Structure formats: structure tokens, C-alpha cells
Structure 1
Amino acid sequence: MLHLRVISPPEQTDKVLEQLTTHPGATHLVLNRGAAIAPAGDLIEALVAREAADDLLGSLCRLDIDHTGGITLEPVDTALSDAADRAEEDAPGDAADAVVWEELLTRTGEESRLNGAYLAFLSIACLLSAVGVIINSPVTIVGAMVLGPEFGPLAALAVGLVRARWDLVRRALVALAVGFPVAMAITALGTLIGNAAGLFDTSVLTGRHDVDFVYQVGPWSLIVAVLAGAAGMLAMTSAKSAALVGVFISVTTVPAAGYASVAAILGEWARFVESTRQLGINLLGIVAAAAIVLLLRRATWRSQDVGRPLPNG
């Protein structure tokens, strides 16, 4: 279940109540007239079945409530109520398969922002992957995979392409186009300092190592990226976020970026090219698979994208 909270101008309140009272997926309706101060209006609350949320949000946005008032939605972990149980049973569809598109747009828009935290996490993940390459530690590489924040912009890019939200596409492309070069430059600088300090030399890349899978490009690189992208988007659209951890440790985006940085500093240009190709294949495979998943779920769309601009930042 989801907790829906609406601030409605008084002249629109009856229309909002009509939408909520007539929809089988809404219950626990509460009205507090004049309770809202900024923006001023009536406060309306309800419990909504997840599979009904997209339809109700579309109806409320068509009433212009998102501009004249406000709409918030948050998950409810526990709801002990026969009325809530009936709402979930009566709402069309299944909660696990329901996509709340406005929630997805907001989430991916937030996670694709180019900010200090994103650059810090991406840079640390690349540095950690470089350490894993240098000390030949697959465990450290896995840690870098989990730490990397790159799936947010990749998911945002897929969502933006499928729903023609070019503001989201631009934000995601900027985060990727700026984030990876900055993180790789910082990793290259760290590698240069470590090499100059005598901590390692070119022997760390010669011969066979347990972490060679990071730069070795083959059919499985694309297969894994496609499967991970599909699983990641399914996790995001079905509210099964725990599955995202499996996505993070499946693809070699960040490790490939870290490996490329190390290879460039040590003059191993063949491995630099291969690891860069690995990075590109993973990025394209994830975005393509995520977009395909969204296209396959097009039948679940019950409302048009209201076209709200993304928050600044």
C-alpha cells in the first residue's frame, strides 16, 4: 500500500474526493478542511493500492492539483485493515507488477543528478577498482561494483528515452559524460602517484591474473550487461530494490573504468583499449535492456506523463 497525501484548493476538493471515493483501489480517506497553510487548502489523505496509484495520480494531475496544490506518495510497510485488504483485492492488476511512472521519473531524476556526492562515490569506486586490479583482488573489485552509483543515470537514460523525457535524458547524459572522465582522471592521478612512490610497477598488469575478466571483452560481456540492465529496471519498476545489489555486482562498468586508468598510466595501451570497450559495451547493454523492459511494460501505462519538469540541482 501507498500513503497518498493531497493538498487541494477548496474549490477542487470535491472533485478530488470524487476521484478517490469512486476508485476501488483507494481507502482510509481522510479530509481536513483548511488544514494546509503553504500552499493553502484542504488536506486529503488516503491509502492507495500500488496498482491503483498510477491511475489516481493521472486523474489528480488532470485536475491540475500538482500545480495548484500538491501531491505526495510514500510506501506503507504495514497496514492492518480489512478495508486496505479489500482495496488491494479490488484494484486491477497486481502490486508486484504495477509501475508508478511518476515515482519512477522522480527517482531516476534524483539519482542521475551530477553533484558532489555522485562524483565522490564514482571516483572512490574507480579508485577501489584500481586497487583491486593492482593487488589482483576480485573481492575488492566486487566492492567497487557495489559502491558505484552509475546505474542511476543509466536507468534515467532508459526511462527518458522510452517516455520521450528529454530533460531526463540530458541530465543522465551529463552525469555519465562528466562523471566517468572525472573519476578516471582522479584514478589515473592516484595510479601515477602510487607508481612514482614505488608501490607497484607494470608487472601488476603482465601475465594472467584473477581480475583479467575486467578488461577481456567477449559475447558474455554483452549478455551479462543485458541481463543486468533488465533485472535492474524490473527491480526499480516493481519496488524490489533489494535485487539491485545483484545488478551492481554483475556488470563491470566501474571496474573497467578503473582498469583503463591504471593501464593508461602504466603504458599498457592494448589493455586500455579493451577495458574502454568493456565499459562502452556494458553501458550500452544496460541502457538497451532497461529500455526494452520499459517498452514491454507499456501495456501497464494507465495515465499520460504529466510532463512535470525535473527538480533543479
Structure 2
Amino acid sequence: MLHLRLIVPTDRSEEVVRLLEGTVGTAHLAVLTGAARSPVGDVVLCDVAREAGDELIGTLRDLGIDSCGSITVDNVDLTLSSHADQAEQDAPGDGADAVLWEELSEATHEESTLSVTYLAFLAVATMLAACGVMLDNAILIVGAMAVGPEFGPLAGICTALVQRAPRLVWRSLSALIGGFAVAMVMTAGFAWLMDAFDLFTRSMVEGRRPNTAFIWQPDWMSFVVAFLAGVAGTLSLTSAKSGALIGVAISVTTVPAAANAAVAFSYEDYGQMWGSAGQLLANLGGIVLAGTLTLLVQKGLWATHRRRTAASKPVPSGGR
């Protein structure tokens, strides 16, 4: 279930209440007349089944409630109410399959910001991966994958392409490209510093590294793994039963590839550098393609389900 808290101008309150009462899947409607002070108006509260939430939120935005008041949505983990149970039964579809596009857009917008924190996480992850590839240590590679925040901008690109939001596309691309550029430059500097302290050596780069050699030797399996990870990651973001995102993070070699490219560049090993760059591009491309296709399929399936549900509703008396 979702909990909606609306601030509505008093003269629009009755209109919103009628909308909520007429929406299948709502329960626990309450109106606090004159309770809001900034902005001034009524506070309207209700719970709605997740599968009915996206359409209701869209209708409220069409009415301009987000402009003249506010719309706040919270996920409810536990609701003990027969009214809530009935609302979920009445609402079409399954809540786990429903995509809240407003929630997804907001989440990816926040995760796609080129902030200091984002750059710090990506730079630390890339330097940690550099230690992993130089020591041929798979555990460090996995840790670096888990720390990397790059899936946020990738999901932002996918969402923006499906929602046709060019500004979010450029914002996400800026965070992705700018973030990796800064992280790789810092990692190259980190490699030079480690070399000055004799902690990194050329023999580490040129030596045999059986545990991490795949990072600069891309093949079709690299793309396949990235594609599958993109599907899983997108489902994790859109589903109410999310939790697979950390598994996605440690299944693709975006950060390790960027790290190895930076280290190889610092030692003028351009063969490894270009191989790592190819691995990075294959992973990024696979995730974006898979994420976009997954969202398109979800959007299409849900639209089809809505049409079938609307067609199966009984026609009111006097209707044609």
C-alpha cells in the first residue's frame, strides 16, 4: 500500500475527495479541514493500492495539485485493515508489477546528480578496484563493484529515454561521463603515487593476472552479463519487491574496467587501456539497452492490462 498526504486549497478539496472516493483501490480517506498552514488549505489523507497509485498520482498532477498544494507519497510496509485488504483486491493487477513512474523519475533524478558525494564514491571505488587489479585480488574487485554508484545515472538514462525527458538524459549522461572522467584521472594519479612509494610496479601491470585478466579482455559474454544485470537492476528499482540491486552492482565490471584503464594509462600500457575501455563501454551499453527495453516492456504490459481491466468493467445502467 501507498500512503498519500495531500495539501489542497479549500476550494479544491471537494473535487479531490470525489476523485479519491471514485478511485478503485483507495481506503482510509480522511480530511483535516484547514489544517495546512504552508501552503494554506486542507490536508487530505488516504491509502491506495500500489497498482492503482501511478494513475491516481498522474490524475492529481493533471489537476495541478502539485502546483497549488502538495502531493506526498510514502510506502506503507504494514497495514492491518480489512478495508486495505479489500482495496488491494479491487485494484487491478499485482502491486509488485506496478511501476510508479513519478517515484522512479524522482529517484533516478536524485541519483543522477553530479555531486561531490557521487564523485567521491566513484573515485574511491575506482581506486579500490585499482588495488584489486594490481594485486589480482577478486575480493577487492567485488568490494569496488559494490561501492560504485554508477547504476543511478544508468537508470536515469533508461527512465529518461522511456519517458522522453531529454533534460534527464543529459543530466544522467553528464553524471556518468563526468564521474568516470574524474574518477579515472584521480585513479591515474593514485597509481603514480603508489608507484612512487613502490607499492605499485610495472611488473604488476605486465604480469600474469588470472583472477582479473577478464577485465581488459572483453567478449560477447561481457555484453550478455551486462544485459542480464541491466534487466535485474531495472526490475529491482521498479518493483515493490526490490533488493537485487547489490547483486547487480557486483556482476558487471564497469568500475574495475575504468580502474584498469587508468592504471594501464599511467604505465603507458595502451593495449590494456583500450581493452579495458572496450569492457567499460560494453557493460555500460548492455545495461542501458537492457534497462530501456525492460521499462518499455513493463510500460506496455501495464497499459495492456489497464485496457483489459477497463473493458471488463460492467457498463453503468443507461450506458451504451
Deviations 1:30-61 (A, max 9, x none): 11011111111100011111001001101111
Q: Percent identity?
A: 49
User: Could you tell me which residue of structure 1 aligns to residue 68 of structure 2?
Assistant: 68
5+ residue gaps, structure 1: 303-313
Question: How many equivalent residue pairs?
Answer: 302
Structure 1 Cα separation of the partners of residues 200 and 272 of structure 2: 17
User: Could you tell me which residue of structure 2 aligns to residue 226 of structure 1?
Assistant: 227
Structure 1 Cα separation of the partners of residues 67 and 174 of structure 2: 28
Deviation of the 1:211 alpha carbon: 1.1
**Paired residue secondary structure (1:105):** helix
Structure 1 Cα separation of the partners of residues 133 and 15 of structure 2: 61
**Paired residue secondary structure (1:297):** helix
**Larger-Rg structure:** 2
User: Could you tell me which residue of structure 1 aligns to residue 282 of structure 2?
Assistant: 281
Deviations 1:253-302 (A, max 9, x none): 00100111111111211000000111011111100110000111123257
Deviations 1:98-124 (A, max 9, x none): 001000000000100110000000000
Deviation of the 1:205 alpha carbon: 2.0
User: Could you tell me which residue of structure 1 aligns to residue 241 of structure 2?
Assistant: 240
Larger displacement relative to structure 2 (242-251 or 206-215): 206-215
Letter in 1 for 2:117: A
Higher relative contact order (CA 8 A, sep 6+): 1
Structure 2 Cα separation of the partners of residues 238 and 192 of structure 1: 44
Structure 2 Cα separation of the partners of residues 296 and 259 of structure 1: 35
Superposition map of 1:264-275 within 5 A: 264-275=265-276
The answer as to whether partners of 2:108 and 2:153 remain within 8 angstroms in 1 is yes
Larger displacement relative to structure 2 (207-216 or 281-290): 207-216
Superposition map of 1:32-181 within 5 A: 32-181=32-181
Deviation of the 1:239 alpha carbon: 2.9
| Deviating 4+ runs (over 4 angstroms) | none
Q: TM-score under structure 2 normalisation?
A: 0.93
Deviation of the 1:167 alpha carbon: 1.4
Deviation of the 1:68 alpha carbon: 0.6
Deviation of the 1:208 alpha carbon: 2.6
Structure 2 Cα separation of the partners of residues 143 and 200 of structure 1: 19
Structure 2 Cα separation of the partners of residues 54 and 149 of structure 1: 27
Q: TM-score under structure 1 normalisation?
A: 0.95
Larger displacement relative to structure 2 (81-90 or 209-218): 209-218
Structure 2 Cα separation of the partners of residues 58 and 250 of structure 1: 35
Structure 2 Cα separation of the partners of residues 219 and 240 of structure 1: 30
**Paired residue secondary structure (2:3):** strand
Deviation of the 1:67 alpha carbon: 0.6
**Paired residue secondary structure (1:28):** strand
**Paired residue secondary structure (1:77):** coil
User: Could you tell me which residue of structure 2 aligns to residue 251 of structure 1?
Assistant: 252
Larger displacement relative to structure 2 (82-91 or 204-213): 204-213
**Paired residue secondary structure (1:242):** coil
User: Could you tell me which residue of structure 1 aligns to residue 317 of structure 2?
Assistant: none
Deviation of the 1:200 alpha carbon: 2.3
Matched, 1:29 2:39: no
The answer as to whether partners of 2:235 and 2:242 remain within 8 angstroms in 1 is no
Structure 2 Cα separation of the partners of residues 255 and 169 of structure 1: 24
Structure 2 Cα separation of the partners of residues 191 and 207 of structure 1: 16
